[in-house]
């Protein structure tokens, strides 16, 4: 149940960010961020075998721990992709309420990642070692 709430909250924030607005793009950073998010997201999807990816932060039955492709650099490349894409949308429209929605999305993804970390550690014996050597979200930044 809790994992579904994270997904609903995540998509509510994304939907708010994608509402139409005026002045696109308000920043030259908008399109590169959106493109970077799309590239990282597609790379993460291709690194997963069919049926392994799960939108909910619960390991799938029969799923395996992925440590290749973007997962070699960060533990949560899909969350990084969503944040990059949505950061591009946020700076592209530059509305104050979008900044609030983006901050809320970042918080939701942080909580979702923490929930997922616990589930992955419980499911995969090798996860603790993987987490020790691989940053969570930003390749050069170590945080829990």
Q: Which one, of 23, 3, 13, lies nearest residue 106 by Cα?
A: 13
Q: Torsion angle, CA of 87/110/64/123, rounded to 10 degrees? A: 180
Q: Are 24 and 93 in contact (CB under 8 A)?
A: yes
Per-residue pLDDT reduced to its tens digit, 116-144: 999 999 999 999 999 999 999 998 877 65
Q: Is 0.85 surpassed by the pTM of this model?
A: yes
Q: What burial class does residue 94 get, using C-beta atoms within 10 Å of its C-beta: 0-12 exposed, 13-18 middle, 19+ buried?
A: middle
- Separation between Cα atoms, residue 46 and residue 31, nearest integer Å: 22
Per-residue pLDDT reduced to its tens digit, 39-60: 999 999 999 977 888 999 999 9
Task: Say whether pLDDT at 65 is over 70.
Answer: yes
Task: Say whether pLDDT at 25 is over 90.
Answer: no
Averaged over 93-108, what is the pLDDT? 96
Percent of the chain with pLDDT over 70: 99
The pLDDT, as a whole number, for residue 143 is 64
- Residue 129 phi, psi (nearest 5): -65, -40
Domain boundaries, the chain: 2-19+27-133
């Amino acid at each position: 149940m809790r994992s579904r709430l994270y997904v609903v909250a995540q998509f509510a924030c994304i939907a708010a960010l994608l509402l139409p607005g005026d002045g696109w793009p308000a920043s030259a950073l908008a399109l590169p961020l959106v493109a970077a998010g799309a590239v990282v997201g597609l790379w993460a999807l291709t690194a997963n075998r069919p049926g392994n990816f799960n939108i909910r932060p619960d390991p799938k039955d029969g799923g395996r721990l992925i440590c290749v492709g973007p997962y070699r650099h960060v533990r949560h490349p899909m969350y990084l992709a969503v944040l990059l894409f949505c950061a591009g949308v946020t700076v592209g429209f530059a509305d104050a309420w979008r900044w609030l929605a983006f901050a809320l999305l970042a918080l939701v993804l942080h909580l979702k990642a923490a929930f997922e970390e616990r589930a992955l550690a419980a499911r995969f014996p090798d996860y603790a070692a993987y987490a020790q050597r691989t940053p969570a979200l930003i390749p050069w930044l170590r945080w829990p």
